Amino acid sequence: MADLHDVWVYLAASPLLHLTLTLLAFQAGNWLYRKAGFNPLLNPVLVAVVILIAILVGTGTRYQTYFEGAQFVHFMLGPATVALAIPLYRQFEHVRRSAVAVIASLLAGSVTAAASAVAIAWALGAGRISVISIAPKSVTAPVAMAIVRQLGGLPSLTAVLVILTGIFGATAGPLLLDLLRVRDWEARGLAIGTASHGIGTARALQVSEVAGAFSGLAMGLNALATAILLPVAWKLLVG
């Protein structure tokens, strides 16, 4: 055991270790996901998070140490988000024909996502900082953290809530839409993208390019709408 500990200490000094662990954990999650017939309960992101948490806890590694090595993945979030414009471009005619429905659905979803999060948090007795930190949970992480920082919340708490929301939406969203008998790919994509941002959009792209395009559009427009509406609404309500 002492030898294994020495080996771990040596490897932990390498900045590539945690990046490699992150990629391997995701590949393991992706393998399980495919073996299970794309069961949404085995979402690759969820599996990767569980594996990485187990490794960090088991080795006593601080998150800050892990992030120093894995921050390249964080950097790639920007280019990955921009790349979602490709399926959107391919489905541009679908989007153009559905412009009115898209805008109406987006505004309804954006307001509902933020208002329901705030209402539930307040009803459970959460403090002001926690309430504002949870409000943009359905917005992509960089935008949500910027909004919360502006309003005096905790960006780190927001990041966790955003990831959990994305994983839950990607896992339970398709099942819920099936139960509600929502069959239209455009509607499914809008719902998943508005509620569960990038992680949900990745799931939608695996099922249908049309759903993925509308999900990517909803993710981007929801971030824009929330960035504009939430600070105004918060200042009007709280002062």
Weakest mean pLDDT among 10-14, 77-81, 111-115, 228-232: 10-14
pLDDT at position 142: 81
The C-alpha atoms of residue 172 and residue 178 are separated, in whole angstroms, by 10
**What are the tens digits of pLDDT across the range 128-182?**
888 999 999 988 888 888 889 888 888 888 888 898 898 888 888 888 888 989 8
Q: Which of 74, 75, 68 is closest to 12 using CA atoms?
A: 68
Query: Is pLDDT of 64 > 60?
Result: yes
Structure tokens at 59: 């080795």
Q: Residue 182: helix, strand or coil by DSSP?
A: coil
Q: Whose structure tokens read 């919340």?
A: 153
Q: What is the pTM of this model?
A: 0.75
Weakest mean pLDDT among 12-21, 44-53, 123-132, 190-199: 12-21
Query: Is pLDDT of 15 > 70?
Result: no
Q: Kindly report the average pLDDT of the chain as a whole number.
A: 83
Query: Is pLDDT of 12 > 80?
Result: no
Q: Which of 87, 161, 158 is closest to 129 using CA atoms?
A: 158
Q: Residue 136: helix, strand or coil by DSSP?
A: coil
H helix runs in the chain, sequence order: 2-12, 17-35, 44-59, 63-75, 77-83, 85-90, 92-97, 99-123, 128-134, 141-151, 155-179, 185-207, 209-238
Which is more confidently placed, 134 or 14? 134
The C-alpha atoms of residue 31 and residue 54 are separated, in whole angstroms, by 18
The C-alpha atoms of residue 155 and residue 238 are separated, in whole angstroms, by 19
pLDDT at position 54: 92
Which is more confidently placed, 65 or 193? 193
- The percent of residues in the chain predicted with pLDDT above 90, rounded, is 5
Q: How confident is the model at residue 14 (pLDDT cuts 50, 70, 90)?
A: low
User: Is the Cβ–Cβ distance between 200 and 162 less than 8 Å?
Assistant: no
pLDDT at position 8: 55
User: Is the Cβ–Cβ distance between 211 and 184 less than 8 Å?
Assistant: no
Q: How confident is the model at residue 87 (pLDDT cuts 50, 70, 90)?
A: confident
pLDDT at position 69: 76
pLDDT at position 28: 93
Angle between helices 44-59 and 17-35 (to 10 degrees): 140
